[in-house]
Amino acid sequence: MQKRKLGHSGLEVSPLCFGGNVFGWTTDEPTSFRLLSGFLDAGCNFVDTADVYSKWAPGNAGGESETILGKWFKQTGNRQQIVLATKLGMEMGPGRKGLSRRYVFEAVEQSLKRLQTDYIDLYQSHRDDPETPQEETLRAYDELVKQGKVRAIGASNFQAERLSEALTISREQGLPRYESLQPLYNLYDRAQYETELEPVCEQQNLGVIPYFSLASGFLTGKYRTENDASGKAREGMVKKYFNDRGFRILAALDEVAKKHESTPAKVSLAWLMARPSITAPIASATTVEQLNDLIDATRLKLDDASIHQLDEASA
């Protein structure tokens, strides 16, 4: 499988990133192990998680996803074959959030312990922290890089102006720079990334690893009515897509999928992978069958006419 470079980091990643948000939420530990091993066996090497995954699930405290990954690393010895991305900054508990120097050092040690590793390939600011000067955060990351605990840093959920500001500080102060951006981007959610963030990423040669690549499952085509989503884990997340534009996108996906003897999910991911600025979309699976669909998407090459049809339907 052809690997892609992540910014200037030297990290080479598969064109698909496995989203670890499902570990410890909709996927138990044994299933998570099977999925991770299947992902690696298929030639993929890029896994994204966060300290806060999956704090939102009843009975969870956060850290469940990293803990499962750490156990898998220990059991299989596959740590060095994976480009491991994790994040910090979302609230883990009282006084445990943000990007202050103090908290960066606290959070990284907890993540390393859960992940049972001594280094993180891509350590990402999960969201901007306006209360902490960006230089303070970048200097903390600089120390982690020099200590060998972090290989590269990235940003997630940043506005274009703040991302540009951070890149300027890194350049002027000789500090590590954000080598990647993790934005919300998919066939439905296009506007903010394409108009504001993509120009910065292309100009600065940042890797881009979009999350919600399948719009919380809506772009798979399995949620076509409110009843389809009723009672499901993602019910509240997919409802916003039930509108004329959403159904127009699904119709186009159905047509393109039929043309390529494929599925809406594979076509949605292939559309993302075909966009020049995208390094690797993040997608999750909860079954081996779903995982195989994700892997298949890396082999699907859409023709220009199909891409144009999807662009028009989702404009």
Catalytic-labelled residue, pool 53, 141, 193, 223:
53
Measured between alpha carbons, how far is 212 from 90 in angstroms, rounded to an integer? 17
Main-chain dihedrals φ then ψ at residue 311, nearest 5 degrees: -60, -45
Helix (H) / strand (E) containing 85: strand 83-88
Measured between alpha carbons, how far is 303 from 292 in angstroms, rounded to an integer? 22
Q: Residue 15 in 3-state DSSP?
A: coil
Q: Which long-range contacts (CB under 8 A, 24 or more apart) does 271-275 make?
A: 271/187, 271/302, 271/307, 271/310, 272/185, 272/186, 272/187, 272/210, 272/213, 273/15, 273/16, 273/297, 273/298, 274/301, 274/302, 274/307
53 tagged catalytic: yes
Query: Given the structure tokens 């108009």, which residue do they identify?
Result: 195
**β-strand pairing of 178-182 with 207-208:** parallel
Task: Specify burial of residue 71 (Cβ count, 10 A radius: 0-12, 13-18, 19+).
Answer: middle
Q: Is the peptide bond before 111 cis (omega within 30 degrees of 0)?
A: no
Query: Given the structure tokens 């998407």, which residue do they identify?
Result: 297
Measured between alpha carbons, how far is 158 from 208 in angstroms, rounded to an integer? 12
Contact by Cβ (8 Å): 169, 138: yes
Measured between alpha carbons, how far is 136 from 236 in angstroms, rounded to an integer? 37
Q: What residues are annotated to the active site?
A: 53
